[in-house]
């Protein structure tokens, strides 16, 4: 179904006021920005002013990382997927640290100072709201809400109702409770501290996430008071006001509880991190990746895998990592912004960053590839080898204990143990060029800039300061002396 067909279906369904049908539509079509936009623009408000006392941190809570990126960046990523007209972040505690860290010029930032409650927080966003838009309220410390769940809520609000995300919890303690009337309709939300014993027994709770027409929201916010147990302006009171005016409040539920879990402590952060990693591991396995232990993998960015990839324990993936068909990643490897082509074998304990590796290369154990490394097909990089900004040609081998930086290495080159490119003179970096079929003897230093010609051989121990001609043996080595009759000194008595 393309955009215009979708629009047509959407409009005909909307005309019939069929909310259920709209749900089905989103489920079938997946996320489409078109769906919310055809009728109403969307304004998103993210609450992030709170103190986060229990984190015991100098860093604002929403900047603490989950899967390698700040909590609030997860919320922003979900928000972006809905194609909103605007996003306004309410900040306060920690001052300008938060806007500076996020640095997205298109975001609106509203400072809430002092923090007088969630209702007061959303009041700060009112100047940024389009009265004709829908307003979706999210929380900077609730990172894993699926965009699909939020999109369903925007569709309900688009019908003129108030969509409220609620969940049933075995232990509802601490949350606002959803109070329904005799007909089962949502009537109001009561906070834990204001609740009667009967209300405390309710186990349907408020997640805080809601979507409603912005114009009406502004009106209700203006009428909030702080006459409650905490002396705060409660956003939740908006629900009671709306219901009293005969508005429809429609509860929506997340597909899974983790979608609405918020973070207040480091222990909760660690729990949600594991949960998120477990979800990512499950997705990889369902896509055909073998994980030796799905509880011992960390993906802090995006990981794209071909067919029959195998990942051993304790691998960490950061930034964007792409693994081709049949790639094997050994235990305890760290890969950041790396592309490994089909059939690459990465043995245990390797650290790769900013590298591209050609098909069937064998790397490690204990290899380090630094940014700018490009290995062609069937290359071999062995233990304790460090490469930086080096291009290595087809089937070349650097198998032991070497540093190769700022170098261009041809095809079928063999670099012996203990080879070092002396690329840095203390002020500038210089290149080493080693042409096809060259053989570099062990314990050689190549003082760049320097070129080793095609098919050249360098004798072991050479310190190469001038180019080595193609096809010849070059060596710089003190002549060996043998002293017959020489005797070891003996210790004085």
Q: Which residues form the catalytic set?
A: 400
Q: Is 435 in the site for ligand UD1 (CB under 6 A)?
A: no
Pick 35 or 142: Cβ nearer ligand UD1: 142
94, 143, 158, 176: residue in contact with ligand UD1 (rule CB under 6 A): 176
Footprint on residues 124-143 left by ligand UD1 (CB under 6 A) = 139-141
What span, in angstroms and rounded, lies between the C-alpha atoms of 462 and 288? 49
**C-beta of 36: minimal distance to ligand UD1 in Å?**
24
Contact assessment for residue 324 and residue 342, using Cβ atoms and an 8 Å cutoff: yes
22, 47, 284, 468: residue in contact with ligand UD1 (rule CB under 6 A): 47
Choose among 213, 218, 105: nearest CA to 162.
213
Enclosing H/E stretch for 428: none
Give the Cα-Cα-Cα angle 170, 173, 177 (nearest 5 degrees). 90
Q: Is 99 in the site for ligand UD1 (CB under 6 A)?
A: no
Tokens of 30: 């997946």
19, 42, 45, 90: residue in contact with ligand UD1 (rule CB under 6 A): 90
25, 49, 162, 438: residue in contact with ligand UD1 (rule CB under 6 A): 49
206, 402, 421, 474: residue in contact with ligand UD1 (rule CB under 6 A): 206
**C-beta of 264: minimal distance to ligand UD1 in Å?**
7
Taken as a whole, the chain contains a residue count of 493
Size of the site for ligand UD1 (CB under 6 A): 27
String of DSSP letters for 173-212: TTSPEEEE-TTS-EEEEE-GGG--HHHHT--EEEEEEEEE
Integer CA distances (angstroms), 465 to 257, 391, 424, in order: 66, 21, 13
Give the Cα-Cα-Cα angle 358, 361, 363 (nearest 5 degrees). 125
Pick 145 or 462: Cβ nearer ligand UD1: 145
32, 43, 112, 421: residue in contact with ligand UD1 (rule CB under 6 A): 112
> Per-residue x/- marks for ligand UD1, 227-266, CB under 6 A?
-------xxx-------------------------x----
**C-beta of 273: minimal distance to ligand UD1 in Å?**
18
Integer CA distances (angstroms), 154 to 10, 15, 37, 79, 133, in order: 13, 16, 10, 12, 11
Integer CA distances (angstroms), 343 to 327, 358, 397, 480, in order: 5, 9, 17, 46
**C-beta of 88: minimal distance to ligand UD1 in Å?**
12
63, 72, 88, 121: residue in contact with ligand UD1 (rule CB under 6 A): 121
Stretch that binds ligand UD1, among 157-165, 199-207, 217-225, 431-439 (CB under 6 A): 199-207
Enclosing H/E stretch for 218: helix 214-222
Pick 47 or 438: Cβ nearer ligand UD1: 47
Pick 167 or 375: Cβ nearer ligand UD1: 167
**C-beta of 140: minimal distance to ligand UD1 in Å?**
6
- Helical pair 3-15 and 19-29, crossing angle rounded to 10 deg: 160
Q: Is 220 in the site for ligand UD1 (CB under 6 A)?
A: no
Contact assessment for residue 145 and residue 254, using Cβ atoms and an 8 Å cutoff: yes
Pick 126 or 315: Cβ nearer ligand UD1: 126
**C-beta of 87: minimal distance to ligand UD1 in Å?**
15
Burial of 446-467, coded b for 16+ CB within 10 Å and e otherwise, reads bbbebbbbebbbbeeebebeee
Pick 10 or 139: Cβ nearer ligand UD1: 139
Q: Is 117 in the site for ligand UD1 (CB under 6 A)?
A: yes
Burial of 354-380, coded b for 16+ CB within 10 Å and e otherwise, reads bbbbbbbbbbbbbbbbbebbbbbbbbb
Q: Is 189 in the site for ligand UD1 (CB under 6 A)?
A: yes
Q: How many CB atoms lie within 10 A of CB 221?
A: 22
Q: Is 50 in the site for ligand UD1 (CB under 6 A)?
A: yes
- Contact residues toward ligand UD1 (CB under 6 A) are 47-50, 90, 112, 115-118, 120-121, 139-141, 175-176, 189, 191, 205-208, 234-236, 262
């Amino acid at each position: 179904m393309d955009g215009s067909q979708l629009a047509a279906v959407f409009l005909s369904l909307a005309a019939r006021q069929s909310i259920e049908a709209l749900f089905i539509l989103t489920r079938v079509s997946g996320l489409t920005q078109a769906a919310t936009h055809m009728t109403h623009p969307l304004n998103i408000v993210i609450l992030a002013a709170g103190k986060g006392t229990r984190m015991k941190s100098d860093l604002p809570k929403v900047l603490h990382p989950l899967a390698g990126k700040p909590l609030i960046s997860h919320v922003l990523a979900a928000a972006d997927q809905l194609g909103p007209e605007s996003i306004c972040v309410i900040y306060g505690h920690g001052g300008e640290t938060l806007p500076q860290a996020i640095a997205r010029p298109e975001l609106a930032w509203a400072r809430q100072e002092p923090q007088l409650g969630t209702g007061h927080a959303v009041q700060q966003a009112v100047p940024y709201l389009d009265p004709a838009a829908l307003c979706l309220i999210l929380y900077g410390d609730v990172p894993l809400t699926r965009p699909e769940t939020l999109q369903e809520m925007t569709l309900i609000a688009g019908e003129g109702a108030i969509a409220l995300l609620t969940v049933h919890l075995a232990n509802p303690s601490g949350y606002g409770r959803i109070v329904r009337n005799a007909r089962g309709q949502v009537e109001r939300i009561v906070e834990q501290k204001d609740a009667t014993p009967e209300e405390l027994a309710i186990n349907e709770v408020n997640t805080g996430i809601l979507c409603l027409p912005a114009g009406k929201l502004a009106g209700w916010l203006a009428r909030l008071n702080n006459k409650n147990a905490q002396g705060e302006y409660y956003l939740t009171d908006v629900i009671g006001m709306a219901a009293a005016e005969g508005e429809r409040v429609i509860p929506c539920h997340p597909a899974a509880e983790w979608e609405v879990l918020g973070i207040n402590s480091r222990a909760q952060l660690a729990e949600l991190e594991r949960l998120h990693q477990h979800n990512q591991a499950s997705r990889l396995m369902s896509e055909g990746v073998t994980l030796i232990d799905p509880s011992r993998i960390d993906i802090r960015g995006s990981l794209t895998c071909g067919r029959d990839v195998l990942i051993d324990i304790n691998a960490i993936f950061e930034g964007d990592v792409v693994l081709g068909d049949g790639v094997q990643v050994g235990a305890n490897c760290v890969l950041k912004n790396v592309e490994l082509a089909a059939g690459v074998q990465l043995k245990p304990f390797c650290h790769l960053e900013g590298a591209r590796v050609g098909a069937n290369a064998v790397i490690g154990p204990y290899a380090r590839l630094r940014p700018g490394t490009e290995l062609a097909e069937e290359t071999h990089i062995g233990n304790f080898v460090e490469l930086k900004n080096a291009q290595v040609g087809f089937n070349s081998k650097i198998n032991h204990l070497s540093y190769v930086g700022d170098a261009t290495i041809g095809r079928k080159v063999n670099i012996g143990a203990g080879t070092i490119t002396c690329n840095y003179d203390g002020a500038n970096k210089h290149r080493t060029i080693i042409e096809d079929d060259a053989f570099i003897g062990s314990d050689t230093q190549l003082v760049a800039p320097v070129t080793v010609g095609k098919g050249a051989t360098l004798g072991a121990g050479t310190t190469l300061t001038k180019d080595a001609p193609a096809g010849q043996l070059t060596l710089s080595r003190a002549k060996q002396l043998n002293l017959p009759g020489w005797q070891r000194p003996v210790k004085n008595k």
